Amino acid sequence: MLGKRYLFALLQITSGETSIGYETIEMVRASRRRGSSHSLLLRLHPYIHSTLSTAVNPLNDWLSDLGNSSYSPRGAIFYNIGCVLTGLALFPFFAGFYYWYTDQKWRKLLIVITQAVGFIAAFALMMIGVFSEDYGAIHHLWSLVFFIFNLMVLILANVSLMTHRKFIRPIASSSDPSQVHQTHRKFIRPIGYYGLVVAVINLLFVGLAYTSVLEWFTVFTALGYVAFLSYNTLRTSPS
C-alpha cells in the first residue's frame, strides 16, 4: 500500500502538481532513505511517468504524434526512422509490379503509371519521417502528398489487376538453364475487393472526414494491402 502511495505522490511531484499535503511529501522523503529499492525507483520514475502520461488513443491522437519529439520524446526517433525504412521498402515493392506486365499495351501502361505514382508515395512517406510533426507545415504537406498518391495507387493497381488474365511466364530451371518450364500467376480477386475497401477508407480520410482514427485505419489497412499483394505477386505455380 505504501508503495502505491509513494509512486502516486512521486508522479504528482514530477508532473508539477503541487496540490498534495506536507504529510505526503514527508512520506516520499522518508521513503527515499529506506534503501536501494527506493533509490532504484527514483532513477526509474522519469521513464514510468513518461510512459503513463503518453498513452496513445487513436480516437484522439494522430499517428504522426508518435513522431513528435514533444509528445513522444523517447519514441519519436524510432517512429520517424520507421517511416523512412518503410518508404525505402516500398520501392522494391512497386518495382515488383513488372511481374504483372502483359502484351496488352493499355494494361502495361497503367501498371507503369501505378509504379511511378507508387514511387512518389514511397518517397513522401520517407519525407514524413525526415520532416516529422515538429516541422509543422512541411510535414503536413508531405502527409497530404502521401495520402493522395496512396489513394491513386490503390485505384490504379486494382483497375489494372482485377481484370488481369492468367499470366504465363517462362522460368529457366536453376539446376539446368537450358530447361525452361512455365509458371502462372493469377491475381487473387478478393485482394482487389479488399483494396477497394482500403481506397474508400483513404478517400473518406482525405476528402470527407479528416479524423485521427481514419488516419490509423488508412495507414494500417494500406500496409495490409501491400502484404497481400506481395504474397500474390510472389505466389507461383508450375503449369
CB 222 within 8 A of CB 198: yes
Q: Cα separations (Å) of 108 from 112, 169, 180?
A: 6, 15, 24
| Closest C-alpha to 230, from 185, 184, 193, 198 | 185
The pLDDT value recorded for residue 8 is 45
Tell me the pLDDT tens digit for each residue of 155-177.
999 888 887 765 544 444 455 55
pTM, full prediction: 0.67
The yes-or-no verdict on residue 110 having pLDDT over 80 is: yes
Residue 222, φ and ψ in degrees, nearest 5: -65, -40
Tell me the pLDDT tens digit for each residue of 194-217.
888 888 888 887 776 667 888 888
Return d(Cα 129, Cα 124) in angstroms, integer: 9
Tell me the pLDDT tens digit for each residue of 116-134.
999 999 999 999 999 988 8
The domain locations on the chain are 2-53, 63-238
**Grid coordinates in use for 83?**
517511416
Please count the other Cβ atoms lying within 10 Å of the Cβ belonging to residue 185: 19
CB 202 within 8 A of CB 154: yes
